[in-house]
Amino acid sequence: MFRLLLIAPPGGGKGTQGHQLAVDYGVPHISTGELLRDHVARSTSFGTRVKPYLDRGDLIPDDLVLGLVQDRLTKPVVLEGFVLEGFPRTLDQALTGYAWASELGLTLSAVIHLTVSEGELVRRLLERGRLTGRSDDTEDTIRHRLALYRRSTDPLLDFYRDRQILVDVDGSGPIPEVTRRIREALAAKGLTPVNAGRAGRAGRSDGTTESQ
Ligand code: ADP
């Protein structure tokens, strides 16, 4: 069983790494940001409701995000294992999620916290905004999201640190290098990839992974 939670600031690489780790460990990748952006892209009524929050870089209300996550996590295949990122993002979300998951016996295998300097985060996000036009990757919104992250996420880190399942991993540098560091941290907890071939290729020297 492999239930991994990835925590990282905006631009910290949780989406990129989450995708790769899901492949390596043979489990679904669940990203609240991706689920939300998918709703917005399909113009569902839920998407229309959450779009203003995403555009401003604000957190969407807890009940909305919790509904989204519960709906996704209770699919039978997901109960077996997952890489989750984007939830929880606040201590309240963590406490509610923890109570709910405990009832289902859904304990986490590990929580990986990716650390990246503020300067590198801003550089990465501005570059992504330039390349993809993502609506929240503009300078003012980036600063707002980073400030919000610092405010809401530190207590969350302590919550998992107190439970001794949090591992800090340096998230700076080339993508395959970060993937390697995460795999090492997981191996130290007895968690090994099921897909060794692909895991090996994540270390390609050109800085890319297969998920891109
Ligand atoms: P980033 O971490 O770079 O901001 P994400 O894709 O994880 O990117 O999230 C994008 C946006 O989706 C957030 O700014 C927020 O509006 C919304 N969001 C994602 N997860 C949550 C959550 N757990 N609670 C509230 N809002 C969320």
pTM as predicted: 0.90
Q: What was the pLDDT predicted at 210?
A: 35
Residues 6+ apart with CB under 8 A from 60: 36, 50, 53, 54
- Evaluate: CB of 57 within 6 angstroms of ligand 1: yes
Distance 31 CA to ligand 1 centre (A): 9
> Best of 69, 89, 95, 151 to mutate for ligand 1, by most ligand atoms within 8 A of CB?
89
Distance 190 CA to ligand 1 centre (A): 30
| pLDDT confidence bin for 101, thresholds 50/70/90 | confident
| pLDDT confidence bin for 196, thresholds 50/70/90 | low
Give CA–CA dist 156/151, Å, rounded: 10
- Please tell me the residue having the least CA distance from ligand 1 atom 12: 33
> Best of 19, 37, 60 to mutate for ligand 1, by most ligand atoms within 8 A of CB?
60
- Counting from 1 in the atom list of ligand 1, the atom nearest the Cα of 61 is 25
**Taking residues 56-67, what's their average pLDDT?**
95
pLDDT(211) > 50: no
Average pLDDT, the chain: 90
pLDDT(40) > 50: yes
| pLDDT confidence bin for 27, thresholds 50/70/90 | very high
Q: What was the pLDDT predicted at 201?
A: 44
Burial of 105 (0-12, 13-18, 19+ CB in 10 A): exposed
**Taking residues 90-96, what's their average pLDDT?**
94
